[in-house]
């Protein structure tokens, strides 16, 4: 292990240890106080925000575990309260029914004790190694002050003892170089052991999620069919009826008033052109021709070119996903770009589309004002429902002031470029 990794692990472990001790202790103490104040009515209103804070505290640890060491800790939280307006004790009881929330509560005392100890070990090893070397360099004369100074199990009262302490410091330094990274990873492994749901719980949560997303997908499909029916009735169908009536009038006027018949024929021809254009727009809304003919990669580039805000597109797809996945990702990208143009006040957009390890990933980043929230009706909730039907996930990072990063992932396989229709 390199010196840099050992030092980075020690610094991260020190920060993580302090965060574990202070954050988890703070939350646990206030949760106990809020529970004790429930009979007085005050605690019932303190519990929901505290439980939400615990979830955010655990989510941060999950993100750090995956970002630093690739340790994935699934959350498997249930949906929010059935009654969004519920407050106080009913909301707290609803949250406590979620097994994931109860796991978070069990994790707090573990994090502030064993989690804190394991996280601090890398920094402690490095500090003790430096201490041993400093003693050998003459620090013992300052700290001994006429009495023995203990370094580990060794009393240091002279230069000879200090040299032995320096040798021990070198051994500890070697151990720190070899173990610091593993010790910090052990902290996250311990966190996963407490926070991660069991295999059965993951399956049960997945079944519930699939049932919910299937219901959403059915509702979305029904709404789409109603939209298509409405567009046909109010658009192309009305023009075709009008064109049929004009042709009937032409037939009656053909011998009696040829000039007016020619005018009506010209009008009918114009209506046929407009009806054809509306039908093309309707078909493009159902399944864009560029998507069917050229594939998702070129369709994404076409969307980028049509977006009013400059888009830098990085597309790397060696094949094509199945048509249903292509369509879902295409319309999700269209919605994401539309959101940026309408709400973000961005000057530039970055688009990344690729496939790796069996996962299709799309990331849209903008330099706008931030504040995007899937629950705020910006269209991201619809994207999330659309992806849920394919076991996909949507992640949104949008702090106030920006930047906004929206990432979607869908597990899928790509067809070979040789067999692809593009």
In order, the DSSP letters of 262-302 are HHHHHHHHHHHHHHHHHHHHHHHHHS-HHHHHH-HHHHHHH
pLDDT of residue 85 exceeding 50: no
> What are 192-249's pLDDT values in tens digits?
999 888 666 556 656 666 666 565 555 555 656 666 666 666 666 666 777 777 777 8
SS3 200: helix
Burial degree of 305 (CB within 10 A; 0-12, 13-18, 19+)? exposed
pLDDT of residue 142 exceeding 70: no
Q: What is the pLDDT of residue 223?
A: 59
Please give the share of the chain, as a percent, with pLDDT higher than 90: 21
Q: Would you list the DSSP string of 202-230?
A: HHHHHHHHHHHHHHHHHHHHHHHHHHHHH
Q: What is the pLDDT of residue 2?
A: 72
Instruction: Look up the CATH architecture of domain 291-411.
Output: 2-Layer Sandwich (3.30)
Give the mean model confidence (pLDDT) for residues 304-317.
91
Q: Would you list the DSSP string of 82-118?
A: SSTT--HHHHHHHHHTSHHHHHHHHHHHHIIIIIHHH
Q: Which helix (H) or strand (E) holds 235?
A: none
Exposure string of 108-145, with b = 16+ CB inside 10 Å and e = fewer, is: bebbbeebbebbbbbbbbbebbebbbbbbeebbeeebe
Provide the whole-model pTM: 0.54
Q: What is the pLDDT of residue 283?
A: 58
Pairing of strands 393-397, 404-411: antiparallel
Describe the strand order of the beta sheet including 359-366 as a list of residue ranges.
311-316, 349-356, 359-366, 404-411, 393-397
Q: What phi, psi does 22 have (nearest 5°)?
A: -75, -50
Q: Is 288 left (phi over 0), alpha (psi -120 to 50) or beta?
A: beta
Asked if residue 421 lies in contact with residue 398, where contact means CB atoms within 8 angstroms, the answer is no
Q: What is the pLDDT of residue 108?
A: 94
> What are 323-367's pLDDT values in tens digits?
888 888 888 888 888 888 888 888 999 999 999 888 899 999 999
Q: What does the alpha-carbon distance between residue 369 and residue 399 come to, in Å, rounded to a whole number?
A: 8
Q: What is the pLDDT of residue 420?
A: 39
In 3D space, the residue among 72, 70, 30, 76 whose CA is nearest the CA of residue 54 turns out to be 30
> What are 44-59's pLDDT values in tens digits?
888 888 988 898 899 8
Give the mean model confidence (pLDDT) for residues 263-287.
70
> What are 25-78's pLDDT values in tens digits?
999 999 999 988 888 878 888 888 898 889 889 989 998 998 898 888 887 776
Q: What is the pLDDT of residue 188?
A: 94
Q: What is the pLDDT of residue 351?
A: 93
pLDDT of residue 17 exceeding 80: yes
Task: Supply the mean pLDDT for the chain.
Answer: 80
Lowest mean pLDDT among 5-14, 91-100, 231-240, 413-422: 413-422
Q: What does the alpha-carbon distance between residue 119 and residue 114 come to, in Å, rounded to a whole number?
A: 8
Q: What is the pLDDT of residue 90?
A: 79
A 10 A CB-CB count for 387 gives: 22
> What are 104-120's pLDDT values in tens digits?
999 999 999 999 999 99
């Amino acid at each position: 292990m390199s010196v840099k990794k050992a030092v980075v692990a020690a610094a991260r472990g020190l920060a993580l240890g302090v965060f574990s001790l202070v954050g988890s202790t703070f939350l646990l103490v206030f949760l106990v106080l809020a529970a004790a104040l429930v009979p007085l009515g005050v605690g019932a209103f303190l519990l929901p925000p505290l439980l939400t804070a615990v979830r955010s505290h655990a989510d941060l640890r999950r993100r750090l575990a995956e970002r630093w060491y690739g340790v994935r800790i699934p959350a498997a939280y249930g949906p929010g309260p059935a009654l969004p307006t519920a407050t106080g004790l009913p909301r707290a009881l609803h949250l406590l029914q979620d097994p994931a929330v109860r796991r978070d509560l069990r994790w707090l005392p573990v994090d502030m004790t064993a989690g804190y100890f394991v996280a601090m070990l890398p920094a402690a090893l490095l500090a003790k190694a430096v201490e041993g070397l400093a003693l050998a360099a003459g620090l013992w004369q300052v700290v001994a002050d006429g009495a023995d100074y203990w370094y580990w199990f060794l009393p240091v009262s002279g230069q000879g003892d200090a040299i032995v302490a320096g040798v021990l410091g070198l051994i500890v330094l070697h151990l720190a170089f070899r173990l610091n990274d593993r010790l910090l990873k052990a902290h996250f492994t311990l966190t996963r052991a407490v926070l991660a749901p069991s295999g059965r719980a993951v399956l049960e949560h997945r079944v519930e999620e699939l049932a919910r997303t299937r219901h959403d997908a059915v509702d979305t499909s029904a709404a789409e069919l109603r939209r298509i029916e409405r567009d046909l009735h109010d658009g192309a169908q009305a023009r075709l009826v009008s064109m049929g009536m004009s042709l009937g009038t032409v037939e009656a006027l053909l011998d009696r008033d040829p000039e007016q018949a020619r005018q009506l024929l010209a009008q009918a021809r114009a209506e046929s052109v407009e009806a054809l254009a509306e039908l093309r727009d309707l078909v493009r809304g159902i399944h864009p021709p560029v998507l069917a003919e050229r594939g998702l990669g070129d369709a994404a580039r076409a969307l980028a070119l049509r977006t009013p805000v400059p888009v830098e597109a990085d597309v790397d797809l060696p094949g094509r996903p199945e048509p249903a996945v292509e369509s879902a990702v295409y319309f999700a990208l269209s919605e994401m770009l539309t959101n940026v143009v309408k709400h973000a006040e961005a000057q530039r957009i970055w688009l990344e589309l690729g496939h790796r390890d069996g996962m299709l990933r799309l990331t849209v980043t903008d330099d706008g004002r931030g504040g995007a929230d899937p629950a705020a009706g910006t269209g991201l909730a619809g994207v999330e429902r659309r992806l849920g039907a394919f076991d996909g996930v949507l992640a949104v990072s949008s702090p106030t002031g920006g930047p906004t990063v929206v990432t979607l992932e869908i597990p899928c396989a790509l067809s070979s470029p040789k067999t692809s229709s593009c």
